[in-house]
Amino acid sequence: MVGFLMVFVLAVFVGFEIITRVPPTLHTPLMSGSNAISGITIVGAIVVVAAGYTGAARWLGVVALAMATINVVGGYVVTQRMLNMFTSRKKRRRGGRS
């Protein structure tokens, strides 16, 4: 348990250091990449829920599925907002999303 906690804390520190050093122009591609990784998490959670090894594993899979889905949806919303910053105001007034 202590080993897992140490890995988690190290991952938090490394992730924070990496994200804070990313230039603002690269945040949109970084968000898209993290959304793809979260999509893989969703697939893994579906596999765990479908296999149904034990009741606890099934519930953990459902929780992981819900959290990863919220993460992906929120990530795509933020990415869309970032991309909207690069569209012209004329397109935004007309309601164009592309």
Angstrom distance (rounded) from CA 30 to CA 22: 9
pLDDT number for residue 13? 94
Residue 27 predicted with pLDDT over 80: no
Q: What is the share, in percent, of the chain residues with pLDDT greater than 90? A: 12
pLDDT number for residue 12? 92
Please, which pLDDT band fits residue 14 given cuts at 50, 70 and 90? Answer: very high
> In the block, which residue shows the tokens 């296999």?
51
- pLDDT tens digit sequence for 47-88: 888 887 888 888 888 888 999 899 889 888 888 887 788 777
pLDDT number for residue 95? 63
User: Bigger pLDDT: 52 or 44?
Assistant: 44
- Say what the alpha-carbon torsion angle 15, 27, 63, 10 is, to the nearest 10 degrees: 0
Domain boundaries, the chain: 28-98
Q: Tell how far CA 49 is from the center of its chain.
A: 20
DSSP state of 1: -
